[in-house]
Amino acid sequence: MKILVVEDEKKVASFIKRGLEDDSNQVTLCYDGAEGLKRASSGEFDLVILDCMLPKKDGLAVLNELRDAGSKVPVLMLTAKADTTDVVSGLDAGADDYLVKPFAFAELQARVRALTRRSKQDRGAEILFADLRLDPVNHKVWRDQIEIVLTAKEYSLLAYMVRNAGNVLSRANIADNCWEYPFETFTNIIDVYINYLRKKVDGKFPTKLIHTVRGKGYILKES
């Protein structure tokens, strides 16, 4: 896999590069946001590992510009900020995952593998449920022929729910499959994103698809 690492701390960048290359990946390093955006926009990489605090252009700005330009490349954000609001900001900007510094390299490897698996899943045919239609290649969603604009993380969560329609999904299930974070870390964020989806997917439609199962979690079903 070809991976771009955008990290201004050269020792950290070198550490990540060596470890990922030991897993037979091809790794390119950039040390500032402007160059990182240029390289990430090229379309040559399978994954971007992006630090938040960067010279010339910060990581969130890089990510916003990537997504605004239509890039679907998976992005793993690295940050020293662990507050829920910071994590939500990164995910809202289009990050696929979020890793807080300092981190164990084994965890970074696991996140990279998970994003690779998810990216491969997203190369298949359209996913259908009720009047929902998901395009896994372009990450587009329609309901009753009306396009619904979702962030990358909202799409990931909805796709997981559609693939598991009819099953009750606990918050731990969702955390493990959509964020790969410990459940305790993501309890509030999961609820926030379910509410985001409800407003967009169910808000204007008489038939509600996203339901709460009290004390257990959430389920996607036709009411």
pLDDT at res. 222: 87
What gap in Å lies between CA 87 and CA 79, rounded to an integer?
A: 9
Q: Which of 121, 146, 180 is the last residue of a domain?
A: 121
What gap in Å lies between CA 86 and CA 109, rounded to an integer?
A: 22
The domain that holds 201 is classified in CATH as 1.10.10.10
Tokens coding 182: 């410990």
Tokens coding 212: 């709460």
Same domain, residue pair 97 and 184: no
What gap in Å lies between CA 18 and CA 88, rounded to an integer?
A: 30
The domain that holds 17 is classified in CATH as 3.40.50.2300
Same domain, residue pair 7 and 100: yes
Tokens coding 129: 């449920």
pLDDT at res. 95: 84
Question: CA 91 → CA 88, 97, 178, distances in Å?
Answer: 5, 7, 11
Same domain, residue pair 107 and 145: no
Average pLDDT, integer, range 107-127: 73
pLDDT at res. 126: 77
pLDDT at res. 1: 84
Q: Which of 87, 121, 155 is the last residue of a domain?
A: 121
pLDDT beyond 90 at 107: no
Same domain, residue pair 144 and 103: no
pLDDT at res. 110: 84
How many distinct structural domains can be found in the chain?
2
Same domain, residue pair 117 and 139: no
- pTM higher than the cut 0.75: no
pLDDT digits over 158-201, tens only?
Answer: 999 998 899 999 988 888 778 755 545 556 788 889 999 999 99
Same domain, residue pair 98 and 150: no
pLDDT digits over 128-169, tens only?
Answer: 899 999 987 778 899 988 999 988 888 889 999 998 899 999
Same domain, residue pair 144 and 80: no
Tokens coding 63: 């990510």
E-strand spans in 31-145? 47-51, 75-79, 97-100, 127-129, 132-135, 140-143
At 220, which helix (H) or strand (E)? strand 217-220
Average pLDDT, integer, range 98-102: 83
pLDDT at res. 114: 78
pLDDT beyond 60 at 88: yes
Average pLDDT, integer, range 90-119: 81
pLDDT at res. 9: 93
What b/e string do you get for 208-222 counting C-beta neighbours within 10 Å, with b at 16 or more? ebbeeeeeebbbbbe
Average pLDDT, integer, range 112-129: 71
Q: Which of 100, 121, 142 is the last residue of a domain?
A: 121
CB atoms closer than 10 angstroms to residue 10:
10
Q: Which residue has the higher pLDDT, 93 or 216?
A: 216
pLDDT beyond 80 at 89: no
Same domain, residue pair 15 and 96: yes
Expressed as residue numbers, the domain containing 33 is 2-121
pLDDT beyond 60 at 75: yes
pLDDT digits over 14-58, tens only?
Answer: 999 999 998 888 999 999 999 999 999 988 898 999 999 999 999
Same domain, residue pair 80 and 137: no
Same domain, residue pair 160 and 110: no
| Residue among 178, 191, 184, 194 at smallest CA distance from 82 | 184
Same domain, residue pair 95 and 137: no
Same domain, residue pair 141 and 78: no
pLDDT beyond 60 at 121: no
The SS3 of residue 118 is: helix
